[in-house]
Amino acid sequence: MKDRIHSYIESLIKERDLLFQEMESYASLHNVPIMELSGIEVLLQLLRMQEPKRILEIGTAIGYSAMRMAQALPETEIVTIERDDERYDLAIQNITKSEYASQINILKGDALDIYQEVKDFGPYDAIFIDAAKGQYMKFFELYTPLLSTNGYVYTDNVLFKGLVTEETIESKRIRNLVGKIKKYNEWLMNHDHYLTTIVPVGDGLAISKKMSE
């Protein structure tokens, strides 16, 4: 979804610390889908405004977004889940050698299988969904009961490189995935207990506010 406006905004973003720059280079070299720069900057700013005590992140990859959230919010605890062995190991390495180790707990496993473990660390004031795109609705339904009153859910990739607007998509796999994302977006926008807005930054960020009961 990178256009000239996104590139312009990214050109204005201050250089990150060396550790983050190295992680960005690693991700680009090894095709690790970390959050796009303009997207994460918006997410971090929203989190600074929200000041959550505890964040649940679904989809750690190599620990980039978890560490950036930890840096932006020094008082916040982050629980993050990764199912891929290699990425989990890299995340552990990156986080352990950083100054954010005491703020971040990485849980290994499929987010759909380790609810009890995740629950033991909760409740959460913010949930950040950034894992398998086809399962967003399941992640949302499973983990939002752990969200505190007035909490927020942030979902990345909801515009999936702009593909949600394409009429014809040749690849069946991508077509199915886009179908699931569109279904999630429509479901989320019409949710009775959440107020959602979609912001076209990065790969598309949905911001959902839990309404008071």
Q: Which residues make up the interface to ligand SAM (CB under 6 A)?
A: 33-35, 59, 61, 64-65, 81-84, 87, 110-112, 130-132, 135
Compare residues 64 and 192 and give the one whose CB is closer to ligand SAM.
Answer: 64
* Rounded least distance, CB 183 to ligand SAM, Å: 18
The per-residue DSSP string of 199-213 comes to E-STT-EEEEEEPP-
Compare residues 31 and 190 and give the one whose CB is closer to ligand SAM.
Answer: 31
Which residues are within 8 A (CB) of 177 and not within 5 positions of it... i.e. 6 or more apart? 133, 134, 160
Q: Please give the structure tokens belonging to residue 37.
A: 């720069």
Can you say how many angstroms the Cα of residue 111 is from the centroid of all Cα atoms in its chain? Answer: 13
What element of type H or E holds 91? helix 85-96
Compare residues 33 and 145 and give the one whose CB is closer to ligand SAM.
Answer: 33
Compare residues 34 and 188 and give the one whose CB is closer to ligand SAM.
Answer: 34
Judge whether 148 and 121 are in contact, CB under 8 Å: no
Counted residue by residue, the chain has a size of 213
Residue with the closest Cβ to ligand SAM? 59
- DSSP state letter for 19: H
* Rounded least distance, CB 39 to ligand SAM, Å: 8
* Rounded least distance, CB 168 to ligand SAM, Å: 26
* Rounded least distance, CB 70 to ligand SAM, Å: 12
Q: In what order do the strands lie in the sheet with 104-108?
A: 104-108, 77-82, 54-58, 124-129, 147-156, 205-210, 194-199
Which residues are within 8 A (CB) of 113 and not within 5 positions of it... i.e. 6 or more apart? none
* Rounded least distance, CB 82 to ligand SAM, Å: 5
Compare residues 33 and 149 and give the one whose CB is closer to ligand SAM.
Answer: 33
Can you say how many angstroms the Cα of residue 66 is from the centroid of all Cα atoms in its chain? Answer: 9
Compare residues 83 and 195 and give the one whose CB is closer to ligand SAM.
Answer: 83
* Rounded least distance, CB 12 to ligand SAM, Å: 20
